[in-house]
Amino acid sequence: MIKYVQTYYQPREGYRGSEASENVLQSQRQETIDAMVAALRSFTGEDFGENADEWFVYLGSNQTSD
Q: What is the pLDDT of residue 1?
A: 92
Which residues are CB-neighbours of 6 under 8 A, at least 6 positions away? 29, 33, 50, 52
Residue 66: CB atoms within 10 A of its CB come to: 3
pLDDT in tens, the chain (66 residues): 999 999 887 777 777 788 898 888 889 999 999 999 999 999 999 999 999 999 999 999 987 655
Q: Please give the Cα distance from 48 to 53 (Å, whole number).
A: 9
- Report pLDDT for 18: 85
pTM listed for this prediction: 0.80
Closest CA to 59 of 37, 44, 42: 44
